[in-house]
Structure 1
């Protein structure tokens, strides 16, 4: 399994490239839209009516992507005051238990994310309160919900027969006047899937002895303390 999910694997490299590129694009778009709105407002007494909503959507995407990315670089904060007192073997056992709990949580979150997003995309959510026990084929199609201000992009009109007009004859078809909500909401299952992938990677690293825990490393603090101690000795 590690050969397929490890950072050096083909899938790992693809995910790394996609994740880092997408984060950079999100930051760039947020900056561009905000800057354009400021220039329009103070320079031309105008504004992009959809600008604020787009920035909020992009920011939400960035946060969700950041959760998964933080697992990759071991940047999530945690309290290790008690685990640090244990011997290495005890720390390893607790790290594996924490990883197992995170895997279970991410799996449940994946189900919840899919079940929430699927109706907005004209798809069927799963059945079962905790674990998927089947497909709810009778779920209501909520693909008619749209964003408040974001205009519909013409090159996305091909989605209308698959979502808004699913099951209707062409003579009864309607059209989106705003961007459908399932497009910004798609980040929920995508981000949680990335989170699950990153937790699997981290768990495999812990099993292989390449990583001590899921939380942020204290190596930087140790280095700072060492430099401070050295500097103090020099002053003496």
Structure 2
């Protein structure tokens, strides 16, 4: 942990860039702001896509970065610097990519290689004393943010959980969650476990002002 650092925030996001330059721009802005506010970053360890963007933004601004990646994904979510520069040019032209093919780059903070996805998520969750932020991503991102939300509902933790709704990316998902509440599968109280932010500044504000809602389960996990 870096001296003077407040807390470490876990960011879930895609190892691809997505179809809009706004996603990359917001990831860069969030990374820069985390470093400026003295927050560390723990993330999935990739150098491609939004993962690499937010990690490099934190690291290049003097912030602490810890990437945790399963060994099987190193060749899928890591790329060398020359590849990353090519991908950055492509994404600005709207080209889809997911091309990490080589060794671990050195300027994305420290990296821990683990054996499997469960270990990755456990370590990320343990280090993230500052909370969790979900930027745009695919199945993995949705699974990760829903798992830590369930952990909060069950009383395993009371850390902030923020959806970074860049350019309306999560609008339909938020509507779906409202439908789940309406149909009685999530209580009105538990709906407030997840907070929504639309700018990097709002992400930081929500992290700092977050209060876990009352009425969550209070299960004893000490013997687990």
With normalisation by structure 2, the TM-score equals: 0.27
Highest RCO, 1 vs 2 (Cα 8 Å, sep ≥ 6): 1
Greater fraction of residues in helix: 1
